[in-house]
Amino acid sequence: MTHPLESLIFACLAIALALALFWPQQGFYWQIRRGNRNTERVVIEDALKHFYDREERGSAGTLASLAGSLEISHDKAASLIERLQKMDLLQTYRHGFRLKSEGRSYSLRVIRIHRLWERYLADETGVPEVDWHREAEFREHRTSADQAEEMAARMGNPQYDPHGDPIPSSTGELPPSNGILLTHLPVDELALIVHIEDEPEILYKQLVAQALHPGMKVQIAEKSQDRIVFIADGEEIVLAPVAAGNVTVEPLPKEQEMEGPYDTLDTLSPGENATVIGISRACRGMQRRRLMDLGVVPGTTISAEMRSAGGDPTAYGIRGATIALRSQQAKQIFVNRKEAA
Amino acid sequence: MKKQAVQAEEILNSANKLRWQIGDQFHDSLMESIYRDAERISQTVVNKKDEKPRFNWDRTLDRILTSRVVGLPVMMLLLALVFWITIAGANVPSGMIASVLIDKVHPILKDAASVLPWWMSGLLVDGVYLAAAWVISVMLPPMAIFFPMFTLLEDFGYLPRVAFNLDNLFRKSGAHGKQALTMSMGYGCNAAGIVATRIIDSPRERLIAIITNNFALCNGRWPTQILIASLFIGSLAPPALAGLVSAGAVMAVTLLGILLTFATSWALSRTILRGEASTFSLELPPYRPPRILQTLYTSLIDRTIFVLWRAVVFAVPAGAVIWLISNIKIGDLSIAAHIINLFDPFGLFIGLNGVILLAYIIAIPANEIVIPTILMLTVLSLHMAGVGEGAGVMFELQNSDAYMRLFNAGGWTLLTAINLMLFSLVHNPCSTTLYTIYKETKSAKWTAISAFLPIIMGLLLCFFVAQIWRLVQGMG
């Protein structure tokens, strides 16, 4: 029989190897499988999306910008553009290239699937916010138009993805956008966040960390070269201009006022009452539906009943039933505290 | 016709334009207006009695049962009481059923079957009948006591409070507080515990509860634990302390199971279950007096009989397989002996042996028959005369000396005993449970994970214990 120490060392090595290979998401096996996905279809669709994106921002895509965005060599980018032109999807335009109408509708189809997937991941799964984009990027090329329609129908034909980007309708229509970048918003003017850009990931992570999401009311307090201070739903937030430039807002009419900061349900101690103002937009999908099914809608009176022996879930009296919620969820319910009568 | 098509197109176009104007929040607004209307209607038509200050039973009881000081001890006491009544109360009826089904009916059937060819009577009476009888006698009494008591607590409204008190602990490992209940149910029977996970309405937490339920020792495994602990571990201590030490060993295995539940839940929620949707809400219904007769009836029909029937259905083919592999010979040896010889090197390497591994494979349908199968296979592989009932016939022994003689002859050591206890805790769920998992999840993937995750963990655990054991022994 082998020496026990040898077999121990061998087993530890084998386990470490197996973990390194098959660890979900980061394992080599999965990375290799993902790495092999650059088929012709994927490359073409990514290229179309790139040109579409450029046009939306008011400039034309070039050979260099395509190579940079897809992380391929200039030679490959050149042959890719040639192919797109042969397929009658792309035409030259001034110094760069422009999508033909056929190419435009193809790219809108891909964008529709991408945004539907993001919405699906946000609402119907527990995939963390920072992974939505990457995951959708992976799945969009594997979804047929029929599957996408089925998915949209099942979700009730959503109009916006979780970052606030409109999902093109199946006929390729988009609403007019009258948003401006947060960095361009004049000081003291009130506006509504309509969109949060999810690329590049490092900036998006900063915005997620600040709990910013579409639907929040913002007001700039101070602008300078190296930082922007603003109030979002009553809370003061400081961002670098490069990060703030990834937030799009829509100015609101003058008569509206800044609201908040709101109290949240988790601040109630047992015995206190409060009226619901709303549920945070960050609370989505199944969890949001569950809360609304329980009767957590604006105007409902909620009383905190008791805390668990373990300290966390707190039982609340909601419309005659006693429901325990974790503090993490109660944090997402905005309330107006009632003074004890 | 053409005109209609044009009209339809126009309608669709304007609908497409309008959908951008109603905004993304209209589902919410719809819901809010439904609530507003319902409230307005109920205010006009429902008469409310004068609002009294809500000092009542419910409140007072809740304050006590969920308080920091009293809440947890009360819960421990109640659960301990339920287990104690189950264990103490099940012994007598279990013995009675066994003496009737195994000691009395079995010989009668054997006589009656003597008109049949020997292999048919062996297959049907010694194989199939005996396996079913064994499962019923071990399983029925504890379940018939445990489940009704549990259902009474549930009916009274206490169980949601347990989930409420323990949720913080489970939340930290990514699970739902109600998993405390499905776990407790698993101590009765894992298949029933799996069915009970229906109370967890969040998909991710429910899968966690299903996959980890196996770490709650079910009543088919308690007897194995108790027997091995008292034979091998209790005997290490002076006779006066033997009972205490063996009880402590069983307790340690149970606690290891709880620890593994938390560790596995934590790991699962961060790896393969990361993307599953998760929500939380827990209703604390008002207390009410339990409806005893109805509870007895439903818990017997829904849980006990249901699970027992599934177990018997799965035990029947196992009985046939056990009998067949012990009686069909290839060359000089039975199939069972061949397999034991094949498994022995690996079994001994991880601190078990070929007999135990084979017993766990053919006893996949029911953990209850593991020990009888091990005894029968040991006798078979050693060609012992005068012990047991013959090839393919499961049996139990009368006293601990007889057990020890058999196990010593089979080459068992303290390490074998410890690893058997560990392996009994951490191995694949029985086929009844697996089938139930498949029924509940409707997914071959999660069923496979529930089967292979614990078996791999169990083999690794035994391997590490054996190697470290030998290392320490080599040094000493």
Residue A134 lies in a domain: no
pLDDT of residue B143: 83
Give residues 283 to 312 of B whose Cβ lies within 8 Å of A: 283-286
Give the whole-angstrom CA distance, residue B355 versus residue B365.
17
Q: In this complex, do B167 and A310 lie within 8 Å of one another by their Cβ atoms?
A: yes
A83 shares a domain with A46: yes
Does residue A2 lie within any of the structural domains? no
Is B467's CB within 8 Å of A125's CB?
A: no
> Least CB-CB distance to B283: which of A4, A308, A321?
A321
Percent of chain B residues topping a pLDDT of 90: 28
Residues A269 and A237 in one domain: no
Asked whether residue A16 is domain-assigned, the answer is no
Q: Which residues of chain A have pLDDT under 50?
A: 341
Q: What is the pLDDT of residue B55?
A: 55
Q: Is residue A23 part of a domain?
A: no
* pLDDT above 80: residue B53: no
- Given this model, what pLDDT does residue B243 score? 83
Same domain, A200 and A226: yes
Same structural domain, A240 and A274? no
Residue A44 belongs to domain spanning? 40-99
Nearest CA in chain A to B161: A308
Do A244 and A272 lie in one domain? The reply is no
- Given B19, B281, B286, which is nearest A290 (Cβ)? B281
Question: Is A307 close to B66, i.e. CB distance below 8 A?
Answer: yes
**Domain end call among A66, A99, A132:** A99
Nearest CB to A294 within list B66, B281, B466:
B281
pLDDT at A170: 80
The predicted pLDDT at position B447 comes to 95
Domain count, chain A: 3
- Mean pLDDT for chain B overall: 86
Cα–Cα distance measured from residue B265 to residue A64, given in angstroms and rounded to the nearest whole number? 48
Mutate to test the interface with B, among A15, A216, A297 (most CBs of B within 10 A): A297
User: Which positions 380-419 of B are in contact with A (Cβ < 8 Å)?
Assistant: none
Those of residues 141-200 in A touching chain B at CB distance below 8 A are 156-160, 166, 169, 171, 173, 175
**B243-260 burial code (b ≥16 CB/10 A, e <16):** eebbeebbeebbebbeeb
Residue A247 and residue A281 in one domain: no
DSSP state of B199: G
CATH of the domain at A73: 1.10.10.10
Asked if residue A323 is part of any domain, the answer here is: yes
* Final residue before a domain boundary, out of A99, A126, A144: A99
Read off the CATH number of the domain in which A193 is found. Answer: 2.30.30.90
pLDDT digits 0-9 by tens, B335-355: 999 999 999 999 999 999 999
What Cα–Cα distance (Å) separates residue B65 from each residue in A250, A269, B157, B158?
51, 18, 11, 9
State whether A184 and A239 are in the same domain. Answer: yes
Same domain, A238 and A275: no
Give the least confident one: B283-292, B301-310, B341-350. B301-310
Contact B468 A4 (CB under 8 A): yes
Model pLDDT for residues B227-252, shown as the tens digit of each residue? 899 889 888 888 888 888 888 899 89
Residue A222 is assigned to a structural domain of this protein? yes
**Which residue, among B60, B164, B201, would best test binding to A if mutated, counting the most A CBs under 10 Å from its CB?**
B164
Determine the pLDDT at residue A341.
Answer: 46
**Best to test chain A binding among B30, B281, B462 (most A CBs inside 10 Å):** B281
In a domain, A8, yes or no: no
Identify whether residues A185 and A232 lie together within a single domain.
Answer: yes
Chain A touched by B460 (CB under 8 Å): yes
Cβ atoms of residues B276 and A285 within 8 Å: no
How does pLDDT run across A43-88, given as a tens digit for each residue?
Answer: 888 888 888 888 877 778 888 888 888 888 888 888 888 888 888 8
Domain stops at, among A251, A272, A300? A251
Residues A217 and A281 occupy one common structural domain: no
Answer yes or no: is A171 within a domain: no
One domain, residues A288 and A233: no
Contact A309 B275 (CB under 8 A): no
Chain B hits for A162, CB-CB cut-off 8 Å, are none
Amino acid B297: pLDDT: 85
Give me the mean pLDDT over the B67-85 stretch.
86
